[in-house]
Structure 1
Amino acid sequence: MKRGAVLVTLLLSIVTGCFVPTATAAAADGSTIVFQWKNTEKRSLFVRSGAWNGNKGFGWVKIQTKHNIHKFQTLRFISNNPKGATFQGSDALYEAYANKKVCTDGKCTYTDSIPVRLVMAFEYVSNYYGVDINGTLGVKTSYCIADDRSGDCPDWVDLAFAGTVFSTSSDKYPSAMTTTVEMSYSPRTRLSD
């Protein structure tokens, strides 16, 4: 009976906000490192949960919310570009390409090749966009390089890491059409296969 009373009290405390579990508090902290890896240059890279207010911010929440990238593997692929990074101050810029290929009746054409950039900051910061960091900032952002400078990635870009295939056919159009998306370190403007 005592165990049940403790459980009910604990649940009521959580629901009413009188008690916040440590894991929940840490998850809400923008300085928390949510993904970490080493790239092919043996550099340690990481992305913090970050902050985003609709106009400015950094980290994983900005990458997901503003730029529509939702897979950590996409960030890792971009940072593993064999050409390495180019630097702007203490920011390392890595790039890769998300490519879309459409095949109809065995004839294939690349229809889109979008550059995707990752910006890693190796600088020490104490506070960034209202978040206490007190260390190396990490990945500032990752986004698609588009003519309209929005940085928004189409949904298929985040699927490109997995080499996702979409197929469509119907009675009206019996020939099979497949669309494949993939990532590469150079743009695909023609078929190489």
Structure 2
Amino acid sequence: MNINGKRRITGRTGIAVAVAIIAGTLASFPFGAQSASAESQGAEVVGTETDAAGRTVVLREGTYNGSVGFGWTKIQQRHNIHSKHTIGFVLKAPNGGVQQGEDRLYVAYAQEITCTDTCVVTDEREVRVINKEAIYASYYGVTLNAVVGITTAYCVNPDGALSCPAWVDRAIGAEKPASASRTSETSTVTTTWSYAPKGIDAQHDR
């Protein structure tokens, strides 16, 4: 059955493909470019990570048409996450992610901190990564015959916006650029991250 351009492999074929995937050698984070060995660019594995429970998680180039898609292309274009370090950090959530059918949900939190006489959390975003552990022949028009991998990563914004604020990448990304902090005459704004929410106006150490 092909639903929304997605066709899953089951039975002996799925088992054979799974064995082949497990036997393969995968690169580690930070995500880096790899040789194009997939049948299409969208299937190309652009990196992998091992989560806190020891599971290997795959990120593919994916595809996005302005409405639907999956993978790294969708994450950048739809949700404004451009640092693969951000995804890597979320995947290291200590609980190893939460199983949701074929998917596994990973969560972390980015905080923006404003310091005057004291430091408080002035903005916070829950950041989610969803990994599909099932094997599909094709997914949104991309030929796979393999595990789909990360379908999306996004912020839970209070206004329901699809795009993460730019500071989220600076907060969670393992290699934060110099612009992670900004200073005015009265305050300094920095970013940080955690695996549990802190809450707006929470006190924060300098």
TM-score, L = length of structure 2: 0.74
Matched, 1:85 2:97: yes
Deviation at 1:28, TM superposition (A): 6.7
Matched, 1:183 2:190: no
Q: How many residues align?
A: 165
Q: Deviations over 1:98-144 (max 9, x none)?
A: 1000012x321101111000000000001111100110000000000
Distance in 2, matches of 1:148 and 1:93, equals 22
Residues 34 and 108 (structure 1), Cα distance of their counterparts in 2 relative to 1, 3 Å cut: same
Distance in 1, matches of 2:182 and 2:39, equals 38
- 1:9 corresponds in structure 2 to none
- 1:100 corresponds in structure 2 to 112
Amino acid paired to 2:189: T
Residues 109 and 163 (structure 1), Cα distance of their counterparts in 2 relative to 1, 3 Å cut: farther
* Contact 1:125/1:135, CA 8 A, preserved across alignment: yes
Bigger Rg over Cα:
1
Of all paired residues, the percent bearing the same amino acid is 38
Matched, 1:29 2:41: yes
Runs of 5+ consecutive residues of structure 2 not aligned to the other structure: 1-34
- 1:51 corresponds in structure 2 to 63
Q: Deviations over 1:76-104 (max 9, x none)?
A: 11011112211210100000001000012
Amino acid paired to 1:36: T
What value does the CA root-mean-square deviation take over the aligned residues? 2.0
Residues 25 and 44 (structure 1), Cα distance of their counterparts in 2 relative to 1, 3 Å cut: closer
Deviates more, 1:81-90 or 1:26-35: 26-35
TM alignment of 1:61-72, pairs within 5 A: 61-72=73-84
* Contact 2:40/2:142, CA 8 A, preserved across alignment: no
SS of the equivalent of 2:87 reads: helix
Amino acid paired to 1:144: C
Amino acid paired to 1:98: A
Deviation at 1:60, TM superposition (A): 0.1
Distance in 2, matches of 1:137 and 1:28, equals 14
SS of the equivalent of 2:79 reads: coil
Amino acid paired to 2:166: D
Q: Which one has more relative contact order, counting CA pairs under 8 Å at least 6 apart? A: 2
Distance in 1, matches of 2:189 and 2:118, equals 12
Q: Deviations over 1:3-31 (max 9, x none)?
A: xxxxxxxxxxxxxxxxxxxx689797100
TM-score, L = length of structure 1: 0.79
Residues 115 and 24 (structure 1), Cα distance of their counterparts in 2 relative to 1, 3 Å cut: same
- 2:128 corresponds in structure 1 to 117
Distance in 1, matches of 2:102 and 2:75, equals 20
Amino acid paired to 1:141: T
